[in-house]
Amino acid sequence: MANVDGKSPVGFWASSSERHSILEDVQGIAAGSMLAALGVTLLSSANLLIGGTAGLGFLLRYSAGISFGTAFFLLNLPFYWLAYKRLGLVFTVKTFAAVALTSVLTGILPQLIGIEHIQPLVAALFGGLLIGCAMLILFRHRASLGGFGILALYLQDRFGWRAGFVQLGLDGVVLALSFFVASPLIIVCSILAAVTLNMTLAINHRTDRYIVR
Amino acid sequence: MAEEKQVQRRNLGFYSADPSQHTPVEDVQGMIIGAMTAALGLYLLNQVGLLTSGTAGVAFLLHYKFGLPFGVLFFVVNLPFYYLSFKRLGMAFSVKTFAAIVMVSVITEIEQQFLLIQYLHPLWAALLGGILIGYGLLGLYRHRASLGGIGILAIYLQDRFKIPAGLVQLAFDLCVMLAAFFVVSPETVMWSLLSAVVLNLLLAVNHRSDRYIVVR
């Protein structure tokens, strides 16, 4: 029923406007992960941080010297079980693919692009923007970059805590921890990056406009 | 009257109650995001001397050949098309397109003061550049703007002389790539071709007004 003219759902161009074909999802996830990895590279070139599990990844990188890609991949592992229980197998698999791809790309990007100098303010704007766009693309293809969002949704269901406040609280903790590894200027720029990221998502992520499920 | 005022107020807000309409604030942020993304993509291509399709490709050609600043060239190359755009696609579209092009020109020019790239592999420049420009254009198209140029001419020629717009655009891009052989090395042209293919595939797959349903 989803395919009105009976075309294969694997083609590049799905005949139905309500569903993405598999190839469409693949290109969306690949492009989203590449943008996210580039955003992370810009942020880390200026030693900036951000919210969420990515923020924790940055904290580990700056404090313990663990590579961001490894830290980001490992930090997201505990959340897949919750994602599977709450948001289904397809979402979990896509999220795993996006997180793995982003982790690998952030690992190899420094070999392919060397940033000599980046102004922290510019890093915050472009980094936040790129990760925001990447998450927008991933959300629109029913994937995510894992982490706190899933936990927040779970806690809301289990204990009735508001998901938005849980997420804000967790990001606040990450930010508070960042005072141990970063200077005030870096923290101000990091907040700017987080605001840019979340404003991009808040304004543009609307399921009543991009109607594909 | 009071109701009208309420609607007016809501239309200027961040969040439009009507999914089929963008508010001015939404349009502004969409255009800023689109222009910034596209400008970063063009900047990456510029770093390794790659080209892309359309008027940006022409600007790159002149930039590499004569060493004039890319931002200025991009702005100038697009000037002749505003008249057509105004006649055929309306005032709002032309003004938004003009604003987007000005932003891209300015950002690509000032970016080198804030972001210095030491080395960049041409493959990644081609892929990331194509994806960034592609998503920049996608954002602009969805807010009824563009980065000007050949698309507008192609639509005009289709209406005036019944030449298919897709063919006009393809022919023009082929000319840009052919001309590129005289300016840069064949290897660079190949990377540029890859970048242009990524860009246009991305637009072809994702630009669907039946999915992103905002009317204007």
Residues of B in contact with A34 (CB under 8 A): 127-128, 131
Q: Residues A186, A192, A195, A199: is their CA dihedral positive or negative?
A: negative
Q: What is the pLDDT of residue A4?
A: 42
Instruction: Report pLDDT for B193.
Output: 92
pLDDT beyond 60 at A41 = yes
How near does any CA of chain B get to the CA of A40, in Å?
A: 14
More confident residue, B206 or B79: B79
Kindly report, residue by residue over A59-112, the tens digit of the pLDDT: 888 888 889 999 999 999 988 988 888 888 998 999 999 999 999 999 999 889
Give the pLDDT mean for A43-58: 88
Note the pLDDT of residue B3. 46
List, in order, residues 6 or more apart from B158 with CB less than 8 Å away: B164, B165, B168
B120: three-class secondary structure by DSSP: strand
Task: Report CA-CA distances (Å) from A144 to A19, A59, B43, B88.
Answer: 18, 21, 28, 40
Q: Quote the pLDDT of residue B162.
A: 83
In 3D space, the residue among B29, B31, B6, B33 whose CA is nearest the CA of residue B17 turns out to be B6
Q: What is the pLDDT of residues B141-177, one digit of tens each?
A: 888 888 877 878 887 888 788 888 778 888 888 899 9
- Count of CB atoms situated within 10 Å of the CB of A6: 6
Instruction: Give the nearest partner residue to B120 out of A28, A112, A212, using CB atoms.
Output: A112
Residue A43: pLDDT band (50, 70, 90) is very high
Do the chains contact at B123 and A203, CB–CB below 8 Å?
A: no
Percent of chain B surpassing pLDDT 90: 48
Token representation of residue A8? 């294969």
In the three-class reduction of DSSP (H, G, I as helix; E, B as strand; rest coil), residue B117 is classed as strand
Closest CA to B191 of B55, B38, B45: B45
Task: State how beta strands B115-120 and A113-118 pair.
Answer: antiparallel
For residues B118-130, average pLDDT: 93
Rg over CA atoms, chain A: 18
Find the residue in A nearest to B20 (Cα). Answer: A209
pLDDT over 60 (residue B11): no
Give Cβ neighbours of residue B180 (< 8 Å, ≥ 6 apart).
B51, B57, B61, B188, B189, B192
Chain B residues closer than 8 Å to A195 by CB: none
Q: Which 8-state DSSP code applies to residue B212?
A: B
Check if the beta carbon of residue A43 is closer than 8 Å to that of residue A118.
no
pTM, two decimals, is: 0.87
Task: Choose the closest CB to B37 out of A114, A133, A210.
Answer: A133
Q: In whole angstroms, what is the distance from residue B11 CA to residue B22 CA? A: 8
ipTM for the complex? 0.84
Asked if B37 lies within 8 A of A24 by C-beta distance, the reply is: no
Q: What is the count of residue pairs from A and B with beta carbons less than 8 Å apart? A: 100
Written as six digits, the tokens of B199 are: 């860009």
Q: Is A113 left (phi over 0), alpha (psi -120 to 50) or beta?
A: beta
Mean pLDDT calculated for residue range B181-203: 91
Name the residue in chain B with its Cα closest to that of A11: B205
In the structure encoding, which two tokens stand for residue B138, read together? Answer: 């996608």
Euclidean distance between CA atoms A35 and A49, whole angstroms: 17
Determine the pLDDT at residue A154.
80
Mean pLDDT of chain A: 84
Q: Is the pLDDT of residue A34 over 80?
A: yes
Residues above pLDDT 70, as percent of chain A: 92
pLDDT over 80 at B7, yes or no: no
